[in-house]
Structure 1
Amino acid sequence: MSDIEREAMEYDVVIVGAGPAGLSAAIRLKQLDADCQVVVLEKGSEVGAHILSGAVLDPSGLDALIPDWKEKGAPLNTPVTEDNFYVLGEAGSIRVPNWPMPPLMNNHGNYIVSMGNVCRWMAEQAEALGVEIFPGMACSEIVYGENGEVKGVVAGEFGKNPDGSKGDGYEPGMELHGKYVFLSEGVRGSLSKEVIEKYNLSQGHEPQKFGLGMKELWEIDPEKHREGTVTHTMGWPLGSNAGGGSFIYHLENNQVYVGFVVHLNYENPHLYPYMEFQRFKHHPMVAELLEGGKRVAYGARAISEGGYQSMPKMVAPGVALLGCSVGMVNVPRIKGNHNAMLSGKAAAEAAHAAIAAGRASDELGDYEKEVREGAIGEDLKKVRNVKPLWSKYGLATSLVAGGLDMWTNTLGFSLFGTLKHGKTDAEATGKAKDHKKIDYPKPDGKLSFDRLTNVSFAATNHEESQPAHLKLKDPAKPLEIDYKIYGGPSARYCPAGVYEFVEPEGGGEPRFVINFQNCVHCKTCDIKDPAQNIVWTTPQGGDGPNYPNM
């Protein structure tokens, strides 16, 4: 038990995270009952500061939540006009025609958006309905009730010293209690992870799988800009080293999103996902587009990829997991924001019905039923075998077999049933001695950039006097396991250069250093560390990246 005394505030529903899921839940609760007391707590310095997504938005979630979003000025300004798919080789590319692809892969009717800006607009809609939104309020602890139910969260704790003791300006924060607590923290949220473990919510489900998504915003030559064009690629430079691919989205104002995703179940610990992204931009097709342009912003985020069979149980007493806290990304479509919105709406409707019936702090079973059997489950079930096929058989086979499986699923059956994922991404990592090192070309500073320079374009910042929010379960393991057995992959898989092994001048064993100030909150370390020794927790509120238009 904590010896810290905190004031408590009571609400009907407490929502952690002002992403598409959390804001949708808040809006729907107020639509159903204007007197419902709803609070949204956001760790970013403002709503949208920590939102990183591709993004081509399927508007179905917004249609269901705010049917008149166009009239209300939602920032969906760039409809998709052209949809391209390529398989890349080192010097060339093969265009995959659109006609053999299942209808669900069609981007007609979707929009190229900044999800950060969409969330900023959604926050305005929520506040107009009376929702209280507090940015800069990291939720650091779950508050449990007498019967083991989730009762609320601790938010707004500031001023700890690096050793964890209370500093001179220490503020204990507050307890915010709710009849129900919604966790919409995004991928691998620290409170969601705690709840999943405490209530054993993953039992009977496949392990969650993840990708690392890295993204740059570029301003390019107006002559090369094709507003509304969506391009996806697979193949080079990853080859057989890892699954993944790229996206290039032409939004308005001569700007282009250039993104790269590496599936985190790769075996070779020498793989350097960030450098794979930088190398990709030197492909002739991409280099020709970007030459003469300038990079404006950079960011990175883990992506949930396990899909239908990896969704844990979503409810426990007093709490519901929303959006990517569950993992609702449709992998072949590279879309999850619409499902996040639909999950928020469904959770709100279940909580509203429960509160109206005089219930509180129990399990919202109707929410889980709606997610699994409604539009979200239908969306994810059709594509459930694409990721395991890719992981098991590689790109070429999975393109054919996965495509066939998606086609048959549109008719209501699957040739493969439901395939399993097997290992976690951490367990998939091979030992250094069993894999070849990979030689990466040096960034040229024009198309490709060194990692720390790029991190400065994420505008990330952490108060240095606080405790490091990246915790080690055992301080000896980074050297004994990560470095000596696996070759120190933490120095490579982090897209922000947080981890390094520093060799002493006089020789001897290296020292493991955590540069937590660089962290962009992607959570890759928490996912990929072979020893599962690194635990990502929230820094104090307002810290982290400040993404513009991302």
Structure 2
Amino acid sequence: MAEIEREAMEYDVVIVGAGPAGLSAAIRLKQLDADLDVVVLEKGSEVGAHILSGAVLDPCGLDALIPDWKEKGAPLNTEVNEDNFYFLGEAGQVRIPNAPMPPLMNNHGNYIVSMGNVCRWMAEQAEELGVEIFPGMSCSELVYGDNGEVKGVVAGVFGLEEDGSYGPNTEPGMELHGKYVFLSEGVRGSLSKEVIAKYDLQAGKEVQKYGVGMKEIWEIDPAKHKEGTVTHTMGWPLNSNAGGGSFIYHLENNQVYVGFVVHLNYKNPHLYPYMEFQRFKHHPMVAELLKGGKRVAYGARAITEGGYQSMPKLTFPGGALLGCSAGMVNVPRIKGNHNAMLSGKAAAEAAFDAIKAGRAADELTEYETSVREGAIGKDLKMVRNVKPMWSKWGLTASLALGGLDMWTNNLFGFSFFGTLGHGKNDAESTEPADKHKPIDYPKPDGVLSFDRLTNVSFAATNHEESQPCHLRLADPETPIKVNLPKFAEPAQRYCPAGVYEVVEDEDGPRFVVNFQNCVHCKTCDIKDPSQNITWTTPQGGDGPNYPNM
């Protein structure tokens, strides 16, 4: 194919992704120097369209970035006033007292928020400072310089032929070049994945670990609504089948966020994370809360869970990984947005100093140091053993030992356990189907629980159908020839949007990819036991359209 000619635009800093990390970097750069040229590229149809998070927000990131955020009208409206932890059995629950928990688990002073709306507000602050923000612009390729450095990105390719080739109606997009390129794509971003592999940024680190988080917004009976209440549960229905748990957050307007997280290192390929979520809502405590209410939105997203020991090297020639592109979630707190904001601020400060000194396209080693030795590193280091303990020894042991470990780290700055490893990645954790029994899931009742396709319609996801499938199979025969006989093809179950099906035809089973359903959670890219699926960006603006997730 002939070389594709594209227009190029030059910036000081190019930022991929308008999440909390990317927007924080953009805002901080302009605070430091109003004359810097900064651009943010967002694949969603608008800022916030692809943002899904719990979320209880620790405002420390905003405090550092925009100290007067209250006066400026940031949408942090519901302060946490009650914190509940429960261990669930099938028919009842046991309250876990707050007193023995280390201080970091206390949510008082935090806010129940829609991170989509927080990002929309942050985008307004960034644009007021002169940042250029382009939504609906997927970044599909990296542009490399003569010395192997990241020089920029290709964005805005539209109208590819179904086979991925360029046709007469294809818009080839443009190249956006920067002195530095920040990748803030969120979990398992396609460009971040490429950069981590190309520059071997994971060398010497533990494997990254993940969960899949599914979330519904419910409008409930005002008599049952307790604004500012935060509830977390563990135990049923997952029990020993998988790690994970739930969250129920009461925000304003009689709404609650109901969410469920399943750790993706589960062994049994028959496990069906989405149906575990639906079953959870039939627990007496949850069913009573939701009775008489209605679900108004649904979405799903992978979560980075590897923590401190799994963070890759954060810098590469010409750029840096920010926020969840690097994996900065504090797993026991179920919080990463504050660290994403702090990482954006730190990256911006390192880039500003470098540009002021006449540097470009080198490694921002100051950013790496700032993250690992500053507030982010301290936050993640204290909880670094909780996830591997849970994976190795199960929920009960991890509650006791993890609590002890967090206390010793909090009080004395050390751990009796050192730093534990994670072992296998989540794809390798999947065991053959014949080692496990199938799980019988109750049929959704259409009142509290719903089938996947009905729920996906509440994500308002849409993909232009004539474009190439953005879910690439390395070998199209692997799902039927390998995954089906060995693992009962778990893609049918691990995907929370019903993208993958095995259809029985006259000639035998056939693997179907319904890419139009995709909510960009990236679970398939993580959990496929043959590592045969690669998630790539569809054309800009496609995907979910979350209103206030």
Q: State the match for 1:360 in structure 2.
A: 360
Distance 2:375 2:48 in 1: 26
2:534 pairs with 1:535:
yes
Instruction: Specify the alignment match of 1:511 in structure 2.
Output: 510
Superposition TM-score, scaled by structure 1 size: 0.99
Question: Which residue number in structure 1 is paired with residue 306 of structure 2?
Answer: 306
Deviation at 1:509, TM superposition (A): 2.5
Equivalent residues in 2 for 1:229-248, closer than 5 Å: 229-248=229-248
Match of 2:467 in 1: 466
Q: Which runs of 4+ in 1 moved over 4 A?
A: none
The answer for the alignment partner of 2:208 in structure 1 is 208
Kindly provide the amino acid, as one letter, of the partner of residue 535 in structure 2. Answer: W
Q: Tell me which residue corresponds to 1:490.
A: 491
Q: How does 1:100-499 map to 2 (within 5 A)?
A: 100-410=100-410, 411-499=412-500
Shift of 1:488: 0.8
Offset, 1:2: 7.0
Superposition deviation, residue 293 in structure 1? 0.2
User: Deviations along 1:38-60, whole A, 9 cap, x unmatched?
Assistant: 00000000000000000000000
What is the letter of the counterpart of residue 455 of structure 2? N
Q: Write the deviation string for residues 504-545 of structure 1: whole angstroms up to 9, x where unpaired.
A: 1x3x42000000000000000000000000000000000000
Paired AA for residue 392 in structure 2: K
- RMSD over aligned Cα atoms: 0.7
Cα distance in 2, alignment partners of residues 256 and 202 from structure 1: 38
Amino acid at match of 1:55: A
How far did residue 202 of structure 1 move?
0.1
Shift of 1:168: 3.7
Single out whichever of 2-11 and 208-217 deviates more from structure 2: 2-11
What is the CA-CA distance between 1:481 and the residue it aligns to? Answer: 1.5
- TM-score normalised by length of structure 2: 0.99
For the residues of structure 1 that align with 2:202 and 2:482, how far apart are their CA atoms? 27
**Could you say what secondary structure the match of 2:217 adopts?**
strand
| SS state at 2:508 partner | coil
Secondary structure of 1:166 counterpart? coil
3-state secondary structure, aligned to 1:503: strand
- Find the aligned partners of 1:159 and 1:301 in 2 and give their Cα distance: 27
Which amino acid in the other structure matches residue 457 of structure 2?
S
CA distance in structure 2 between the partners assigned to 1:33 and 1:143 by the alignment? 26
Structure 2: runs of 5 or more not aligned: none
Structure 1 distance, partners of 2:32, 2:251, is 35
Aligned: 1:525 with 2:549: no
Distance 2:166 2:350 in 1: 40
CA distance in structure 2 between the aligned counterparts of 1:209 and 1:399, rounded to whole angstroms: 19
Displacement of 1:170 in angstroms is 1.0
- Deviation string for 1:254-275 (max 9, x for gaps)? 0000000000000000000000
In 2, the alpha carbon distance for the partners of 1:117 and 1:483 equals 41
Letter in 2 for 1:521: H
Structure 1 unaligned regions, length at least 5: none
Deviation digits for residues 312-338 of structure 1 (CA, Å, limit 9, x no counterpart): 001010010000000000000000000
- Supply the AA of the counterpart residue of 1:437: P
Q: What SS is found at the alignment partner of 2:246?
A: strand
Question: 2:2, 2:45 → 1: CA distance?
Answer: 27
TM-superposition CA deviations, 1:56-100 (whole Å, max 9, x none): 000000000000000000000000000000000000000000000
Total equivalences in the alignment: 548
1:465-485, Cα deviation, whole Å (9 max, x unpaired): 000000001111111121111
Q: 2:400 and 2:508 mapped to 1: Cα distance? A: 48
Q: Residue type matched to 2:161 in 1? A: N
